Amino acid sequence: MKTLTVSVVTPDGPVLEDSFEMVSCKAENGELGILPGHIPLVAPLAINVVRLKNGSDVQKLAISGGFLEVRPDKVTILAQSAEKPSDIDVERARKAKERAERRLQSKQDDVDFLRAELALKRAANRIDAAQR
Amino acid sequence: MASLRDIKGRIDSTAKMKKITKAMEMVSASKMNKAEQNAKSFVPYSEKIQEVVASIASNTDADHPMLSKREVKKTGYLVITSDRGLAGAYNSSILRSLYQTVNERHQSSDEYTVIAIGRMGYDFCRKRNMPVAKSILGLADQPNFADIKELASETVQMFSDEEIDELYIFYNHYVSAISQKVTKKKLLPITDMANSATGSQYEYEPNQEQILQVLLPQYAESLIYGALLDGKASEHAARMTAMRSATDNANDLIDGLTLSYNRARQAAITQEITEIIGGVAALE
């Protein structure tokens, strides 16, 4: 089976570089599945889990603030943060989630609101990646 | 001439000081290595994002406020300094350059604002009544992107909201362990998008404008983070050099003091002998 090289890079250094058969991720306007030989593509990614598949083996990464660059034989994911499920502190994410929820309920001015919403998304995403 | 005891006391205190500076030198050396590695591991990210931004920006006529110049009413200066002193000329050279620039370019303090990373820069501006819009104090020696993400995105937001119309960044560029250079860079609007595009044509999902909207702030934030990493490496290098020369100076001082200590000791012995001989001669 043909594979493509996937590298995940964050400002704190490369997270992962390996070959996979398929990359499945969620862009801003919908799910994207990328197989080898895809046309060159650039797309921003939603705060979500990226799945890297190799046969029945699936590796997950919690991504936030990222985008995807695809070339026929190489996929690069640039993200402000990318974490493997084993690196996620679930307890901390849960606390962050509660905090964000509380802030959302106590409606204040809208800048805070936006930030709390993003924080909530990130925390939920982390918990999601760590559990499933 | 100082008494034997005085000289002895000075030698001891200098030796203690030397121990401290020597220890600080070694600590800074290891921190510098770490900071250099951090800066290196950031390179792949920055290169990639630069490449993609350049290829989009040069292939389209898509317009974005962050790419176009506008009339400058207010300028933002982002200054990266350290939190603590004892780093030689590290802070003073950045702040001098900032002060000169501000004095040359602006008449009143309404025309600019400072964003300070590091206590030294913050205190400097407060003391001189320069407006400080945002600041981060007490940043870790090896900062993560998450540590400054908020400040970076707020700063970029200030530009998008037209609170500031251009943004300069002042930091020490790490040239080598013994040399750091004060660097003043124009960050926003992004103008020097060199045509380094590799010629690869991309499909854009959903479209180029929207990607630029997401990408450009990220790019600007990454530039700020890059400058911070560079600055941190310089800080540790500057501190290491300063501490090394302090240690060397302490050595010189101890050598000089030891010399005069021995001289004073000999003088005292000679005097005692003379006195004894004098006493014996008086008895005969």
CATH number at A78 reads 2.60.15.10
* Nearest Cβ partner for B205 among A13, A41, A81: A41
Interval B52-64 mean pLDDT = 72
Answer for the pair A64, A125: CB distance below 8 angstroms, yes or no. yes
Q: Which of A34-38, B72-76, B159-163, B269-273 has the highest mean pLDDT?
A: B269-273
Same domain membership, residue A68 and residue A122: no
Residue A78 to residue B48, Cβ atoms within 8 A = yes
A95 lies in the same domain as A119: yes
Task: Assess whether pLDDT exceeds 60 at residue B197.
Answer: no
Distances (CA, A) of B31 to A4, A108, B72, B83, B238: 38, 42, 40, 15, 11
DSSP-based three-state secondary structure for A117 = helix
Residue B218: which pLDDT band, with cuts at 50, 70 and 90?
confident
- Average pLDDT over chain B, rounded to whole? 87
Which has the minimum average pLDDT: B36-40, B145-149, B258-262? B145-149
Mutate to test the interface with A, among B218, B224, B225 (most CBs of A within 10 A): B218
- Do A79 and A96 sit in the same domain of this protein? no
Count Cβ–Cβ pairs < 8 Å, chain A vs chain B.
Answer: 75
Instruction: Give chain A positions within 8 Å (CB) of B161.
Output: none
Do A47 and A68 lie in one domain? The reply is yes
Which has the higher per-residue pLDDT, B210 or A6? A6
Q: How far is CA A28 from CA A33, A35, B210, B211, in A?
A: 13, 19, 10, 10
Read off the pLDDT of each residue in B1-29 and give the average, rounded to a whole number: 91
Chain B residues with CB inside 8 Å of A71's CB? Answer: 200
A29 → closest Cβ in B45, B201, B206: B206
Closest partner residue to B144 (CB to CB) among A12, A14, A67 is A12
Note whether A110 contacts B: Cβ–Cβ < 8 A.
Answer: no
Non-local (6+) Cβ contacts of B258 within 8 A are B11
Contacts of B58 (CB under 8 A, 6+ apart): B193, B195, B197
* Alpha carbons B276 and B279: distance in angstroms, whole number: 5
Residue B146 forms contact with A (CB below 8 Å): yes
Residue B194 above 90 pLDDT? no
Number of domains in chain A: 2
Residues B226-237: what's their mean pLDDT? 92
Q: How confident is the model at residue B258 (pLDDT cuts 50, 70, 90)?
A: very high
Q: Does B92 touch chain A (CB under 8 A)?
A: no
Same domain for A96 and A122 = yes
pLDDT band at B195 (very low <50, low <70, confident <90, very high): low
A60 and A125 co-located in one domain = no
Identify the closest residue of chain B to A45 by CA–CA distance.
Answer: B214
Query: What CATH fold (topology level) applies to the domain B25-241?
Result: Pyruvate Kinase; Chain: A, domain 1 (3.40.1380)
**Which pLDDT does position B122 carry in this prediction?**
92
Decide if B215 and A13 are in contact by the 8 Å CB cutoff.
no
E strands, A11-129, in order: 13-20, 22-27, 30-34, 41-45, 48-54, 57-71, 74-83
Q: What is the pTM of this model?
A: 0.83
B205 touches chain A (CB under 8 A): yes
Does one domain contain both A32 and A80? yes
What range does the domain containing A78 cover?
4-85
Q: How many CB atoms lie within 10 A of CB B137?
A: 13
Chain A nearest-CA distance from B16, in A, is 39
Cα–Cα distances in Å, from B217 out to A58, B66, B214, B221, B250? Answer: 32, 8, 6, 6, 49
Domain co-membership, A75 together with A30 = yes
pLDDT tens track of chain A, all 132 residues?
788 889 898 888 888 888 888 889 888 778 888 888 888 888 888 888 888 888 888 888 888 888 888 888 888 898 888 888 888 888 888 888 888 888 777 766 655 677 777 888 888 888 887 776
| Same-domain check for residues A101 and A70 | no
Query: Residue A109 maps to which CATH number?
Result: 1.20.5.440
| Contact flag A81-B56 (C-beta cutoff 8 Å) | no
Q: Which residues contact A126 (CB under 8 A, 6 or more apart)?
A: A62, A83, A88, A90, A93
Nearest-CA residue of chain A relative to B35?
Answer: A12
CA atoms of A69 and B95, how far apart (whole Å): 40
Contact list in A for residue B205 (CB cut-off 8 A) is 27, 29, 32, 41-43
Instruction: For B70-82, write each residue's pLDDT tens digit.
Output: 888 889 999 999 9
Tell me, yes or no, whether A57 and A93 share the same domain.
no
Q: Which residues pair with A14 in a beta bridge?
A: A9
pLDDT band at B176 (very low <50, low <70, confident <90, very high): confident
Residue B62: which pLDDT band, with cuts at 50, 70 and 90?
A: low
A28 to chain B: nearest residue by CA? B206
**Domain definitions of chain B by residue range:** 25-241
Please give the Cα distance from B114 to B134 (Å, whole number): 7
Q: What pLDDT, on a 0 to 100 scale, did the predictor assign at position B198?
A: 55
In angstroms, the CA B114 to CA B34 distance is: 29
Query: What single string gives the DSSP state of each residue in B126-150?
Result: HHTT--EEEEE-S--SS--HHHHHH
